[in-house]
Amino acid sequence: MKVSEFHLRNIFSAVVILTLSGCSMEYAPIADPAGPIAIAERDLLYAAFLVMMIVVIPVFVLAAFFAYRYRANGGKGTHDPEWSYSAKIDAVIWIVPTIIVIALGYFLWTSTYKLNPYRPLRSDIPDLEIQAVALDWKWLFIYPQYGIATVNEVAMPVDRPVAFKITSDTVMNSFSIPALAGQIFAMAGMTTQLHLLASKEGTFRGSNTQYSGDGFANQHFSAVAMTDNNFEAWTKKVREAGAALDAAAYAKLEKPSIGHPVEYYSSYEPGLFGTILIKYAASQDPADLVCTASVQDRQIN
Q: What is the pLDDT of residues 101-112, one digit of tens each?
A: 998 899 888 888
| pLDDT of 132 above 50 | yes
Closest listed residue to residue 223, CA positions, set 23, 18, 37: 37
Averaged pLDDT, 183-193: 94
CATH 2.60.120 assigned to domain 29-72+86-115? The reply is: no
Q: Is there a shared CATH topology between the 29-72+86-115 domain and the 128-297 domain?
A: no
Domain boundaries, the chain: 29-72+86-115, 128-297
- 39, 31 in Cβ contact below 8 A? no
- 180, 37 in Cβ contact below 8 A? yes
Averaged pLDDT, 189-216: 94
Sign for the pseudo-dihedral over CA of 102, 104, 108, 114: positive
Per the prediction, the chain carries an average pLDDT of 84
Higher-pLDDT residue of 121, 299: 121
ω into 83 cis (within 30 of 0) = no
Q: What is the pLDDT of residue 96?
A: 87
CA distance 132 to 139: 7
* Sequential DSSP letters for 220-288: EEEEEEE-HHHHHHHHHHHHTT--EE-HHHHHHHTS--SSPPPEEESEE-TTHHHHHHHHH-TTS-HHH
In a 13 Å sphere around the CA of 1, the CA atoms on its Cβ side amount to: 3
Query: Rg of the Cα trace of the chain?
Result: 26
Report helix angle 286-297 to 272-280, nearest 10. 160
CATH 3.40.1440.10 assigned to domain 128-297? The reply is: no
Beta bridge partners of 131: 142, 165
| pLDDT of 245 above 60 | yes
Beta bridge partners of 186: 173
Closest listed residue to residue 154, CA positions, set 120, 171, 131, 125: 131
Return the biggest CA–CA distance within the chain.
Answer: 87
Q: What is the pLDDT of residue 11?
A: 47
CA distance 269 to 165: 17
